Structure 1
Amino acid sequence: MVRSDAERLVRIGTEFLQEAGFEPRDDGLEARLRAQDSEWTATALEIGDETRSRRGFWRGLLTDELPFPLPRALQPSIPPTLVVVAARHAAKGVGELVVFPHVSRRGDAEYARAAGPRIRAALQGITAAAGAEGAMLSHESLGGVPDDGAPFSQEVVREVLGWH
């Protein structure tokens, strides 16, 4: 819960995630929400590469035995990860911001949570920025979200955004 409006919260969340390496998707999520007259405003960002995230047996065997780190170009990439940044009006001058990640089954399962440090860094930046303005009212971590039609729910991410 932050003292701000929903559009500004989504913009700030998006900026911090872009600084962490996430790229906005061109999926029309915000326009769909407006067309449905939703209370939410949202955007989706993603990071990762399905093919480069897979190590494979031989590649893993060779790289695990090297006495030096691989050059960055040869290191496994982050598996595909989608983050939805959504906000809605909660009270006069107060907005609710939700930043929720969705890991794809398409990448290497061993590294499925590899985007976690980037997401945590973005969340810390958002919290620090809101705290510096005296705008942060409360925050909590979500272990999961119900399929209630919110733009960050599994159902919307799967059915509307086509994320698997």
Structure 2
Amino acid sequence: MSDQPEYMPVRHHEGSVAGSGERMRIAPLRWYGFSTGGGRFVVRTDPRSALRAAVAQLQAVGFALGDETFQRRLTESGSKWLAQDLRLGNIKESWKRGFISWVVEDTGLEFFRRFWRGAAPTLVVAAARETASGTELVIYPHTSWRGGSDQNDAAPLMRTTLAALADHFSNSGALISFEKLRGIKNDGSPASQAVVRAMLGWR
């Protein structure tokens, strides 16, 4: 596996979001479709480097880094995956901002940032492991059904992330394959819904 140059994250430049992590807010009249989706890379680099690049990119577009709980629980379960959870939005803030957006709708006030709605709570997992074909890197988001918004606010951030990583791995000669994921199987991967529900209580 080749040595990779230091990853330089790409920021999301669309003017429809403000802030990051729990404090991210979304401009009015924005809807990003029914499916957020993720991606799976196979690359010629070690799992730790691949995961580090993915996490740096997700942070650059506005996701907030989780603590070491997820990796510790994975290791204790015997998993060979390296993984990190990152988050967007806040359940209470999402409900509050959603209500405010409804109250000020069509008043003209909704275009001021203080009235933008809170981002739909989303947890995204980046996970990497070594395989016979190279390092497998999976990135997948899970929007919480407990949030006050059914919008896929993570969608443009995920598109920026996947495109930036694909360019990086391709330009450095490390990319073996890449596929977009419209869904993810509960196959034991840390990025699957079953694992984040069991280990992080995410719903």
Residues 8-62 of structure 1: per-residue CA shift (max 9 Å, x gap): 1111100000001111112511122223332211110001122232323xx4444
Partner of 1:120: 159
Partner of 1:89: 130
CA contact (8 A) 1:79 1:106 kept: no
Q: How does 1:47-126 map to 2 (within 5 A)?
A: 47-54=88-95, 55-56=98-99, 59-67=100-108, 69-91=110-132, 94-111=134-151, 113-126=152-165
Partner of 1:29: 70
Q: What SS does the corresponding residue of 2:104 show, helix, strand or coil? A: helix
Return the alpha-carbon distance in structure 1 between the equivalents of residues 60 and 119 of structure 2.
16
- Identity in percent: 35
Partner of 2:43: 2
Residues 96-147 of structure 1: per-residue CA shift (max 9 Å, x gap): 1000100101212432x11111111111111111111011111111222222
Return the alpha-carbon distance in structure 2 between the equivalents of residues 110 and 89 of structure 1.
35
If the length of structure 2 is used for normalisation, what is the TM-score?
0.72
Higher strand share: 2
Partner of 1:12: 53
Residue 68 of structure 1: how far off its partner (Å): 6.0
Specify whether residues 145 and 110 from structure 1 end up closer, same or farther in structure 2 by C-alpha distance, changes over 3 A only.
Answer: closer
CA contact (8 A) 1:53 1:77 kept: yes
Specify whether residues 69 and 30 from structure 1 end up closer, same or farther in structure 2 by C-alpha distance, changes over 3 A only.
Answer: same
Q: Tell me, yes or no, if structure 1 residue 146 matches structure 2 residue 185.
A: yes
CA contact (8 A) 2:84 2:126 kept: yes
If the length of structure 1 is used for normalisation, what is the TM-score?
0.88
CA contact (8 A) 2:125 2:139 kept: yes
Q: 5+ unaligned residues in a row in structure 2: which ranges?
A: 1-41
Specify whether residues 27 and 79 from structure 1 end up closer, same or farther in structure 2 by C-alpha distance, changes over 3 A only.
Answer: farther
Q: 5+ unaligned residues in a row in structure 1: which ranges?
A: none
CA contact (8 A) 2:101 2:116 kept: no
RMSD: 1.7
Specify whether residues 68 and 32 from structure 1 end up closer, same or farther in structure 2 by C-alpha distance, changes over 3 A only.
Answer: closer
